[in-house]
Amino acid sequence: MLKEEIRKKLIAVVGEENFDDSKVGRLAYSFDATPNFQAMPDGVVSPRNTEEVSSLIKICNEYKIPVVPRGTGTNLCGGTCPTEGGIVFLFKHMNKILEIDEENLTATVQPGAITLDLINAVEAKGLFYPPDPGSMKSSTLGGNINENSGGLRGLKYGVTRDYVIALEIVLPNGDIMRSGGKLAKDVAGYDFTRLFVGSEGTLGIITEATLKLVPKPETKKTMLALYQDLEAAARSVSKIIASKIIPTTLEFLDQATITVVEDYVKIGLPTDAKAVLLIEQDGSPEVVQKDIEKMTDICKSENAVSVQVAQSDEEAEQLTTARRWALSALARLKPTTILEDATVPRSEIANMVKAINEIAKKYDLNICTFGHAGDGNLHPTVPTDARNKEEMERVEKAFEEIFIKAVELGGTITGEHGVGIMKAPYLELKLGKEGIAAMKAVKAALDPNNIMNPGKIFAKDSRKRVVVGK
Amino acid sequence: MTTVLEQQTIQDEFKNRMNEDELLNCMRCGFCLPSCPTYITSGYKETHSPRGRIALMKAVVDGLIEPDEDFEKSLNQCLGCRACEPVCPSGVNYGHLLEEARDIINQNKKHSLPVRTVRKVVFDGLFPHPNRMRTVTGLLGFYQRSGLQKVARAAGVMKLFPESLATMERVLPKVPTMREMKNRPEFVPSQGTTTKRVAFFTGCLMDTMFLETNNATMKLLQLAGCEIVIPKDQSCCGALHGHSGEKDGSKELAKQNIKAFEDLNVDYIITNAGGCGAFLVDYDHLLKDDPQWKDRAVDFKNKIKDISQILYEADFHKKVKLQLPYQIITYQDSCHLRNVMKTASAPRELLRAIDGIDFKEMKDADRCCGSAGIYNIVESEMSMQILDYKMEQTKATHATTVVTANPGCLLQMKLGIERENLSDKMRAVHIVDVLLEAVVK
Ligand SMILES: Cc1cc2nc3c(=O)[nH]c(=O)nc-3n(C[C@H](O)[C@H](O)[C@H](O)COP(=O)(O)OP(=O)(O)OC[C@H]3O[C@@H](n4cnc5c(N)ncnc54)[C@H](O)[C@@H]3O)c2cc1C
Ligand code: SF4
Ligand code: SF4
Residue A237 backbone class (left: φ over 0; alpha: ψ -120 to 50; beta: rest): alpha
Measure B378 CA to ligand 2 centroid, in angstroms: 27
Q: Which residue has the higher pLDDT, B376 or B150?
A: B376
Which chain B residue's Cα is nearest to A470? Answer: B64
CATH fold of B4-107: Fumarate Reductase Iron-sulfur Protein; Chain B, domain 2 (1.10.1060)
Distance from C-alpha of A343 to C-alpha of A355, rounded to nearest angstrom: 13
Ligand with an atom nearest the CA of residue B44: 3
**Which residues in chain A are classed under CATH 3.40.462.40?**
219-408
Does the CB of A265 have a partner CB in chain B at under 8 Å? Answer: no
Q: Is the CB of B79 under 6 A from ligand 3?
A: yes
Residue B168's pLDDT is what?
63
**Nearest atom within ligand 2 for CA of residue B31:** 1
Distance from C-alpha of A256 to C-alpha of A1, rounded to nearest angstrom: 47
Type of residue numbered B28: R
Facing B29 at nearest CB: one of A40, A74, A335 = A74
Type of residue numbered B240: L
Rounded to 10 deg, the angle between the A4-14 and A50-63 helix axes is: 170
Does the CB of A24 have a partner CB in chain B at under 8 Å? Answer: yes
Residue B380's pLDDT is what?
82
- Range A426-454 average pLDDT: 95
Measured by CA distance, the residue closest to atom 4 of ligand 3 is B78
Residue B157's pLDDT is what?
46
Residue partners of B176: CB distance under 8 A and separation at least 6? B137, B141, B208, B211, B212
Q: What is the mean pLDDT of chain B?
A: 86
Q: Which has the closest alpha carbon to B271: B330, B205, B209?
A: B205
CB A249 within 8 A of CB A131: no
Query: What DSSP assignment string belongs to B339-368?
Result: IIS---HHHHHHHHTSBT-EE-PPTTTTS-
Shortest Cα–Cα distance, A90 to chain B (Å): 10
- Range B344-355 average pLDDT: 96
3-state secondary structure of A230: helix
Does the CB of A57 have a partner CB in chain B at under 8 Å? Answer: no
Residue B324 backbone class (left: φ over 0; alpha: ψ -120 to 50; beta: rest): beta
Shortest Cα–Cα distance, A257 to chain B (Å): 15
Q: Which residues of A touch B46 (CB under 8 A)?
A: 28-29, 73
- Range B403-428 average pLDDT: 92
CB B202 within 8 A of CB B230: yes
Residue B291's Cβ-side half-sphere holds a number of Cα atoms within 13 Å equal to: 0
Does the CB of A35 have a partner CB in chain B at under 8 Å? Answer: yes
Measure A167 CA to ligand 1 centroid, in angstroms: 17
As a CATH number, domain A1-216 is: 3.30.465.10
As a CATH number, domain A219-408 is: 3.40.462.40
Which chain A residue's Cα is nearest to B26? Answer: A335
Chain A, window 300-329: residues with a beta carbon less than 8 angstroms from a chain B beta carbon: 327-328
Facing A27 at nearest CB: one of B24, B64, B90 = B64
Residue B355's pLDDT is what?
96
Q: Which residues of B touch A30 (CB under 8 A)?
A: 55
Measure A122 CA to ligand 2 centroid, in angstroms: 28
Q: Do A31 and B25 touch (CB under 8 A)?
A: no
pLDDT exceeds cutoff 50 at A465: no
Residue B131's pLDDT is what?
61
Residue B404 backbone class (left: φ over 0; alpha: ψ -120 to 50; beta: rest): beta
Quote ipTM for the complex. 0.93
Q: Do A336 and B24 touch (CB under 8 A)?
A: yes
Q: Which has the closest alpha carbon to B10: B112, B107, B115, B76?
A: B107
Distance from C-alpha of A128 to C-alpha of B69, rounded to nearest angstrom: 46
Which chain A residue's Cα is nearest to B70? Answer: A24
Q: Which residues of A touch B31 (CB under 8 A)?
A: 135, 137-138
pLDDT exceeds cutoff 90 at B240: no
* DSSP assignment letter at A317: H
As a CATH number, domain B320-438 is: 3.40.50
Residue B372's pLDDT is what?
75
pLDDT exceeds cutoff 90 at B2: no
Measured by CA distance, the residue closest to atom 8 of ligand 3 is B36
By DSSP bridging, strand A275-283 and strand A249-254 are: antiparallel
| Kind plus residue range of the DSSP H or E element containing B277 | helix B274-280
pLDDT exceeds cutoff 50 at A467: no
- Range A19-45 average pLDDT: 96
Distance from C-alpha of A59 to C-alpha of A44, rounded to nearest angstrom: 14
∠ CA(B153), CA(B158), CA(B160), 5° rounding? 145
Grade residue B348 by pLDDT with cuts at 50, 70 and 90.
Answer: very high
Burial class of A312 by CB neighbour count within 10 A (0 to 12, 13 to 18, 19+): exposed
Q: Which has the closest alpha carbon to B300: B288, B314, B282?
A: B282
Query: What DSSP assignment string belongs to A38-90?
Result: ----SEEE--SSHHHHHHHHHHHHHHT--EEEESSS--SSSTT--TT--EEEE
Distance from C-alpha of A111 to C-alpha of B76, rounded to nearest angstrom: 31
- Range B103-115 average pLDDT: 73
- Range B58-71 average pLDDT: 94
pLDDT exceeds cutoff 50 at A160: yes
Q: Which residues of A touch B27 (CB under 8 A)?
A: 33, 35, 331, 336-337
Residue A101's pLDDT is what?
97
For residue A108, what are the β-bridge partners? A99, A210
Distance from C-alpha of A79 to C-alpha of A77, rounded to nearest angstrom: 5
Q: Encode pLDDT of A109-126 as tens digits.
A: 999 999 999 999 999 999
Q: How far apart are the first and last CA of chain B?
A: 59
Residue B203's pLDDT is what?
82
CB A279 within 8 A of CB A225: yes
Measure A329 CA to ligand 1 centroid, in angstroms: 22
Q: What is the pTM of this model?
A: 0.89
By DSSP bridging, strand A205-212 and strand A164-170 are: antiparallel
3-state secondary structure of A247: coil
**Which residues in chain A are classed under CATH 3.30.465.10?**
1-216
Q: In B, what residues contact A, Cβ < 8 A? A: 21, 24-25, 27-31, 33-34, 43-47, 49, 52, 55-56, 59, 62, 64-66, 68, 70-71, 74, 89-91
Q: Which residue has the higher pLDDT, A138 or B112?
A: A138
Q: Encode pLDDT of B277-327 as tens digits.
A: 999 999 999 999 999 999 999 999 999 999 999 999 999 999 999 999 999
Please tell me the least confidently modeled range out of A82-96, A323-337, A445-459, B131-145.
B131-145
Distance from C-alpha of B248 to C-alpha of A37, rounded to nearest angstrom: 37
Residue B158's pLDDT is what?
47
Q: Is the CB of B251 under 6 A from ligand 2?
A: no
Q: How far apart are the first and last CA of chain A?
A: 17
Grade residue A43 by pLDDT with cuts at 50, 70 and 90.
Answer: very high
Q: Is the CB of B142 under 6 A from ligand 2?
A: no
Q: Which has the closest alpha carbon to A43: A85, A96, A91?
A: A85
Shortest Cα–Cα distance, B56 to chain A (Å): 7
Facing B90 at nearest CB: one of A23, A28, A332 = A332
**Nearest atom within ligand 1 for CA of residue A32:** 29
* DSSP assignment letter at B35: G
Q: Is the CB of B164 under 6 A from ligand 3?
A: no
Measure B159 CA to ligand 1 centroid, in angstroms: 49
Shortest Cα–Cα distance, A148 to chain B (Å): 18
Q: Encode pLDDT of B134-144 as tens digits.
A: 555 555 555 55
Count the neighbouring beta carbons within 10 Å of the beta carbon of residue A468. Answer: 17
Measured CA distances, A412 to A20, A316, A369, A429, B377 (Å): 39, 32, 16, 9, 56
Rounded to 10 deg, the angle between the B163-171 and B380-396 helix axes is: 50
- Range A13-27 average pLDDT: 97
Q: Which has the closest alpha carbon to A51: A86, A93, A106?
A: A93
Q: Encode pLDDT of B172-222 as tens digits.
A: 666 666 566 566 788 989 998 899 999 999 887 666 778 889 999 999 999
Q: Is the CB of A151 under 6 A from ligand 1?
A: yes
Q: Which residues of B touch A386 (CB under 8 A)?
A: 24
Please tell me the least confidently modeled range out of A274-283, B205-214, B333-342, B411-420.
B205-214
Q: Is the CB of B37 under 6 A from ligand 3?
A: yes
Measured CA distances, B143 to B138, B153, B156, B174, B423 (Å): 8, 11, 15, 10, 22
Facing B56 at nearest CB: one of A28, A40, A328 = A28
pLDDT exceeds cutoff 60 at B161: no
Alpha helices in B30-159 (DSSP H): 37-41, 50-62, 69-76, 94-107, 113-119, 130-146, 148-155
Distance from C-alpha of A273 to C-alpha of B435, rounded to nearest angstrom: 50
Residue A89's pLDDT is what?
98
Shortest Cα–Cα distance, A327 to chain B (Å): 7
Task: Read off φ and ψ for residue A358, nearest 5 degrees.
Answer: -65, -45
- Range B400-417 average pLDDT: 92
Q: Encode pLDDT of B115-156 as tens digits.
A: 655 566 566 655 666 665 555 555 555 555 554 455 445 444
By DSSP bridging, strand B304-306 and strand B268-271 are: parallel
Measured by CA distance, the residue closest to atom 1 of ligand 2 is B88
Q: Is the CB of B148 under 6 A from ligand 2?
A: no
Q: Do A25 and B62 touch (CB under 8 A)?
A: no
Q: Which has the closest alpha carbon to A276: A330, A246, A236, A238?
A: A236
Distance from C-alpha of B165 to C-alpha of A233, rounded to nearest angstrom: 64
Residue partners of B144: CB distance under 8 A and separation at least 6? B172, B174, B175
Q: What is the mean pLDDT of chain A?
A: 93
Which chain B residue's Cα is nearest to A78? Answer: B28
Every domain of chain B and the residues it spans: 4-107, 320-438
Distance from C-alpha of A132 to C-alpha of A150, rounded to nearest angstrom: 7
